Amino acid sequence: MHKLNFNIKNIDAYHLKFPNEKSYWEEYRTTEKENFSDRFEFRSGWQTVYATKVETAVLKVEMTDGSVGWGETNCPIGPEVTKVIVDGIIKQMVEGKEFQDPYELWNFLYDSQRGRGYSSGYWLDTLAMLDIGIWDALGNREKTPSCFLFGVQSPRKKIPVYLSGIRKSTVTERIDEAKKWVDSGIQGFKIFLTGNIEQDLAELDILQSNVPNIEEWMVDNLWMAGYEAGVKAKLEFGNRGVSFYECPLQPENISGHRFLVKEPGSPIALGEHFRTHYQIEPWIDSPRALDVYQPDIGRTGISDFLIQRNMAYKKNIPVTPHMGNGISIFQAATLQCATVSSPKYLQEFQGGLAAILQDSATTVWKYSDGKFTLPDAPGLGIMIDENKLQPYIVN
């Protein structure tokens, strides 16, 4: 039986920026940018702001027993805010304090601000980053992959994946890029569309017809469809065999999603905008507002992910972790969680972000033949060279 108690000696958080890398969207629809600055950009048809260069926040936690872990949050816009929270608040609250397990730490920090309404946003992003680092340190201390500490029997050893986005400017280039990934063994693709349903269906049709023999296609509307368009899209995507339809309506619209779930067509997938199990409860209770649950580990952390996972399973809702804008630490944490998630759906994979930290990090997670294999390495399975990390640190 592995022990999960710990005492935190020190925490250091870093804001990282990769000036020589492409944006999160790489070359996707590069002619359709709007209102972009040196740091932020908008894409035509989408409401969400993105960073022009990949930015993130990472954290190093050292225990009094000498074990070390690294965490990362999925916070691409203003990640320096999470560093301020660590430096100015959390360090003083937790360093030198004994905790029985990571859940006690998460609850302690959540309770400390819940009465002030800090139930989401940057406060929870920071908790997720620390929580991931704690699980990494515990796995390193216990000399086992972190997933074997989750209390789940028989984590999966093989994790088939789908590519998140075919990130090229034109449809022709996207077809060529997709075929390259097919040659690598990839088993599915998720495509990002605008909510203009006629255009969306045309894009899906041409990709499916030119890239055959793919097991799964997923569609993400990035909250932009609207209800009437969403009903039509859900039906048409279902007719085309789309495995799930992600983020059709605005993220606050629980009633709209409840109605949409009942309409015929592809299953509705949601989850990336939630941080806590308190938030998901009304969405998975009857009448539920989603069919597939996609927690983002860079926002839930590992501890609350496990609680959310169990809640979803009790409602017979499959779980497949969302993998958003994070580099190798976040990706390793997500894959650890994927080992205890539903095999019904492929796991999301951010191919373009996987190697950004490769000169200062060594990961034992290796993509091959369309899947990842659980490595026999402790913790999350990633080692950071702090000296080589220095050029990316924003002071």
- Do 132 and 163 lie in one domain? The reply is no
- Whether 34 shows a pLDDT value over 70: the answer reads no
165-222 pLDDT, tens per residue?
999 999 999 999 999 999 999 999 999 998 889 999 999 999 999 999 898 999 999 9
Summarised one tens digit per residue, pLDDT across range 163-172 is 999 999 999 9
45 located within any domain? yes
Q: What is the distance between the alpha carbons of residues 67 and 90, in angstroms, rounded to a whole number?
A: 19
What 8-state DSSP symbol labels residue 86? I
pTM of the model: 0.97
CA angle 42, 44, 47 (to 5 degrees): 55
Q: How confident is the model at residue 15 (pLDDT cuts 50, 70, 90)?
A: very high
The mean predicted confidence, pLDDT, of the chain is: 95
Residue 385 lies in a domain: no
pLDDT number for residue 35:
61
Is pLDDT above 80 for 32? no
The residue segments making up the domain with residue 365 are 152-380
Burial label for 256, CB within 10 Å (0-12, 13-18, 19+), is middle
Residues 49, 104, single domain; the answer is yes
The mean per-residue pLDDT over the stretch 289-297 comes to 98
User: Domain tally for the chain?
Assistant: 2
Cα–Cα distance between 345 and 216 in angstroms, integer? 9
**Lowest mean pLDDT across 26-35, 78-87, 119-128:** 26-35
In angstroms, rounded to a whole number, what is the distance separating the alpha carbons of residues 171 and 189? 14
High-pLDDT (> 90) share of the chain, %:
89
**Does pLDDT of 29 surpass 80?**
no
Residue 184 confidence (pLDDT): 96
Is residue 394 situated within a structural domain?
A: no
CATH of the domain at 221: 3.20.20.120
